[in-house]
Amino acid sequence: MGTTRIKVIDLSSDQKEIKTSRKHAEKLSGVAILKEEKKKKEKPQAAEVTEKPAVTKTTEVKPEATEEEKPQKKVTSEKPASVPKVAARHHHLGKKYHQASSLIDKNKLYPATVAIELLAKTSFTKFDPTVEIHLNVVDKNVRGRVNFPHSVGPQKSKKYLVFGDSKSKIQAEQKQIIWGDEKTIDEIAKGTLKPKRDFDQVIASPKFMPLLAKVAKILGPVGLMPNPKNGTIAEDVTSIIQKTSETGYEYKTDPTAPIIHTSLGKLSEKPQKIQENLKVLIASIGPTKIKKAVLTSTMGPGIKLDITSVGR
């Protein structure tokens, strides 16, 4: 690449035109000196620009401000966390409930007679509440059937599904009975005959049990599979139906915990009737299997019960 030639006119010289290179022409005209002065002026400006981000980074960090803000954040987060806990614990409680619970010593075990009397004093509902018993037992598999001496609710006529031979004696008692056979078992398996809708209890003699194993997955989950513990298996099915009362109750532990919940009657009934139902239930389960017992009425506070006083 060739060098460019330019003409330079120097007024102080006798020569009108001088042919020379570009760099040499800039030296003669003073352009190079001006460029160097510009560079010197721009250097401090560039240094200032590079230093500014460093200054801004240091000014953005405010350790004192963040330390002061931390306790404020903790205070604001604690308030909403504490409010739901109180609301969840006392959302259904009111002045009447607290007044009723003040009559009960939470650390005391009350005898059955005293506990039933306290139920009437601590009840504040406008309707006739139900007397309930909650039992903590030693095992999750505690279950059975009990016939209360007094009704615990509206009487309901039961429908029986019976696998046995004594038809004539039972028919005279005017009970709703379905006599079962192999065809009946097939109807249960197909779903045309449904438990809790077409029958409320299943009673069978031992020879029918191998056939009923076919529908055990249907009857078992609803608690209708014949079982010696429940007294629904016997050679004489007539005696089972005769002993079965309309006030019978099948108790069993809760699926998630070893607790049994049941009702003993209405609070308006005589205390003696409630105590007799309680006595029969405790005797059926067994006092040694019960760890803790709490007696209560609907929406009322719980009263800890002394199990040893029930049989007296």
What is the third-level CATH fold of 157-245?
Rossmann fold (3.40.50)
pLDDT score of 32 more than 90: no
Residue 57 has pLDDT above 50, yes or no: no
Give just the sign of the alpha carbon dihedral 267, 273, 277, 278: positive
Tell me, what DSSP letter sits at residue 300? S
pLDDT in tens, 86-132: 444 444 567 877 777 777 888 889 998 999 998 888 888 888 899 99
Residue 17: HSE in the Cβ half-sphere, 13 Å Cα cutoff: 4
Give the per-residue pLDDT at 208: 92
In this predicted structure, the answer to whether residue 6 has a pLDDT above a threshold of 80 is no
Confidence (pLDDT) at 31: 55
Domain 94-153+247-312 and domain 157-245 have a common topology = no
- 215 pLDDT exceeds 70? yes
What DSSP element (H or E) covers 292?
strand 290-297
The backbone region for 300, taken as left when phi is positive above 0, alpha when psi lies in -120 to 50, beta otherwise, is beta
Of 301, 284, 297, nearest to 310 (Cα)? Answer: 284
Please name the residues in contact with 292: beta carbons below 8 A apart, sequence gap of 6 or more. Answer: 135, 136, 304
| Closest to 225 in 3D by CA, of 246, 211, 239 | 211
Whether the pLDDT of residue 195 is over 60: the answer is: yes
Mean pLDDT over 151-159 rounds to: 71
Q: Which CATH superfamily is domain 94-153+247-312 in?
A: Ribosomal protein L1/L10, rRNA-binding domain (3.30.190.20)
How far apart CA 230 and CA 224 sit, in angstroms, is: 10
212 vs 217: CA distance, rounded Å: 10
Q: Which residues, listed in sequence order, are joined to residue 257 by a DSSP beta bridge?
A: 254
> Tokens 């009934």 sit at which residue?
269
Residue among 121, 127, 130 at smallest CA distance from 298: 130
**C-beta neighbour count of 139 within 10 angstroms:** 9
Any idea what DSSP says for residue 291? Answer: E
Mean pLDDT of 128-157: 82
Residues 57-88 as b/e (b if ≥16 CB within 10 A, e otherwise) read eeeeeeeeeeeeeeeeeeeeeeeeeeeeeeee
What is the average pLDDT across 222-229? 85
Q: In whole angstroms, what is the distance from residue 131 CA to residue 267 CA?
A: 6
User: For the chain, what are the domain ranges?
Assistant: 25-91, 94-153+247-312, 157-245
More confident of the two residues 62 and 130: 130
Return the percentage of the chain with pLDDT > 70, whole number: 63
Q: Report the pLDDT value the prediction gives residue 154, as an integer from 0 to 100.
A: 62
219 or 249: which carries more pLDDT confidence?
Answer: 219
Residue among 300, 289, 306, 310 nearest 140 (CA) = 289
